[in-house]
Chain A
């Protein structure tokens, strides 16, 4: 009985060092009892954190009524509607504008008219397969090779872009692979080239790499029969204490080592 009293005293009044010392010194049963007492203490603490409004149904009802959002004033009075419609119509006519502005711009005037031309969106990180990776140079105007000098400026649509061999998600996978490869002594410049897609100096790898393959469609087709994959990461789940796993339905860009 005295032991239990001592355990209670340490669990409720003692500091963590005293608890740890007792944990290390005592028997298994005592440790179990001490742990349950510490849990009980924490449970009691949590009990105090229950919102007051949840303690009785009457208080809950009044809390709900008090917390009801006030009616918001009408932001857009109805008498504005005709005026807004007229303004929208005027804006439409204004934007439609002079049809001469739609004429193609010759290459001779590109430099001075460039700000008016439709600018391609700046390169951004996009994980989709057809996207342009962040390392692609920002070239505002792309002229197909077979165009003559006086042909109109043309922009390649997204679907017309040459699919790149590696997407951003590829690079992430390869970074992991390279991390392991480095442990096996792979050269640094080679790994850099692998991640960035750059030349990275003359290496047999770059010389022997095939040209950019046809788009992702073929790769999807080649993966049609591949089973779903579980990627076991090296980060631990705080809830379970085990590594976090993620399911990948189409293992398109997953790199395997073997």
Chain B
């Protein structure tokens, strides 16, 4: 009797899904590049193919499972091994064992996404529609305290575990890997914004499917999520695909904050770092970087981020009332 009732419920569920099953065009483009990393007792992870040699990008949290097995939507399995982990961005590079290249190069990183553009977030329990808000968010990553440009994304659901979700634009380019969500006490609950976001996401496409299951849609809530901005995501992917599989984030070995006057007050200088070798001391105030006036620590962080490892950056330093210029060779965080 119970089994009959369950079967009837499942049949009704399947009927409802079939009626609303209109495949999202973005999903059609990326479905053959996305694998689900299954795990018992915890939320599954996701990986996306980024290179024809069988390299997958995933969130670090998805790599603590053994054996690391990825499954495509058609249940085809692929054994994965961890090649590299970037602690700064919490992203990881996986390699498929016994990979037979089919010429498929995987997805590309989206260069630029316009605010308001519809997105598809592929979560472990199904796709969720979303909207791109901005790629100009200033992020500070804990515990490293490093600056990172962030993209803000709004999702049409607040019930799905979205940590590590892959976000694609309508063309199937990778916009980001969701790494953070805005705390509930900080949720922007502006009714106007929420309604606008719902309208845009509802109008974008009818429905999507992932292995026959869909997440809950509707006005039950919005989730504000963040992923790394396109610049840093591109840097991570290029670093991972380099011969040494290593991401080189620029660093000069400084910790700084707002000062009483325009500039960035140096709080700490890491011993042996590039800034230390250049003679910069705690208490110095960075007034300019490469001729650009630094008004606050955010501007200095962005100026540093925009350099590559090996670049020379000229800083105008104010120390005990006197200004001087020093040249610093940008190094890595190691």
Residues of A within 8 A of B (CB): 4-5, 8, 12, 20, 23-24, 27-29, 31-33, 36-37, 40, 170, 173-174, 176-181, 184-186, 194, 204-205, 208-210, 213-215, 218-219, 222-223, 225-234, 236-237, 239-247, 251-258
Q: Does B140 contact A (CB under 8 A)?
A: yes
**Do B75 and A222 touch across chains, with their CB atoms under 8 A apart?**
no
**In the bound complex, do residue A242 and residue B6 qualify as a contact, i.e. CB atoms below 8 Å apart?**
no
A222 touches B254 (CB 8 A): no
Q: Which residues does B use to contact A, with CB under 8 Å?
A: 2-3, 6-7, 9-10, 13, 38, 40-41, 43, 61, 71, 75, 90, 136-148, 150, 152, 158-164, 178-184, 186, 211-213, 223, 225-226, 250-264, 267-273, 281-284, 295-301, 304-305, 319-320
B40 with A177: CB separation less than 8 A: no
The answer, among B183, B281, B299, for a CB contact under 8 Å with A204, is B281
- Complex CA gap A257/B240 in Å reads 23
Asked if B283 and A185 sit within 8 Å, CB to CB, the answer is: no
- Quick check: A194 and B259 within 8 Å, CB to CB? no
**Roughly how many angstroms separate A37 CA and B41 CA in the complex, as a whole number?**
15
Cβ 8 A contact of B140, one of A5, A223, A230: A230
Residues of chain A within 8 A (CB-CB) of B186 are 245-247
Contact yes or no, A219 B41, CB < 8 A? no
Query: Does more than half of chain B's interface fall in helix, strand or loop, or is it mixed?
Result: mixed
Per a CB cutoff under 8 Å, which of B140, B252, B295 touches A254?
B140
A184 & B139 in contact (Cβ 8 Å cutoff): no
In the A-B complex, the 6 residue pairs with the smallest Cβ-Cβ separation, listed nearest first, are A213-B260, A241-B163, A242-B163, A257-B145, A241-B161, A245-B180
CA–CA, A247 and B300, complex, Å: 20
Measured between alpha carbons, how far is A191 from B97 in the docked complex, in Å?
45
On whether A251 and B145 interact (CB within 8 A), knowing A184-B271, A209-B283, A227-B298, the answer reads no
* Contact of A223 with B145 in the complex, beta carbons under 8 Å: no
**Chain A binding site: helix, strand, loop or mixed by DSSP?**
mixed
**For the complex, what is the distance from the CA of A121 to the CA of B251, rounded to whole Å?**
44
Q: Closest residue of chain B to A228, judged by CB?
A: B138
Closest to A235 in B: B142
Q: Are A240 and B161 in contact (CB under 8 A)?
A: yes
A219 vs B261: C-alpha distance when bound (angstroms): 6
Q: Is the CB of B140 within 8 A of A177?
A: no
Q: Knowing A177-B267, A214-B260, say if A227 contacts B10 (CB, 8 Å).
A: no
Knowing A28-B211, A232-B180, A247-B186, say if A227 contacts B267 (CB, 8 Å): no
- B2 in contact with A258 (CB, 8 Å): no
In the complex, the answer to whether B257 meets A173 with C-beta atoms within 8 Å is yes
User: Which one of A186, A232, A233, A236 has the greatest number of beta carbons of chain B within 10 Å?
Assistant: A232
One of A209, A218, A237 near B181 (C-beta < 8 A): A237
Q: Specify which chain B residues have a CB less than 8 angstroms from the CB of A232 in the assembled complex.
A: 139-142, 148, 150, 179-180, 226
Q: Assess the B143–A185 pair: CB atoms within 8 A.
A: no
Q: Which residues of B contact A218 (CB under 8 A)?
A: 260-261
CB pair B150 A230 closer than 8 Å: yes
Contact yes or no, A213 B146, CB < 8 A? no
- Report chain A residues within 8 Å CB of B254: 257-258
Measured CB to CB, the nearest residue on chain B to A240 is B181
Residue from B159, B250, B252, B295 having most chain A Cβ neighbours under 10 A: B295
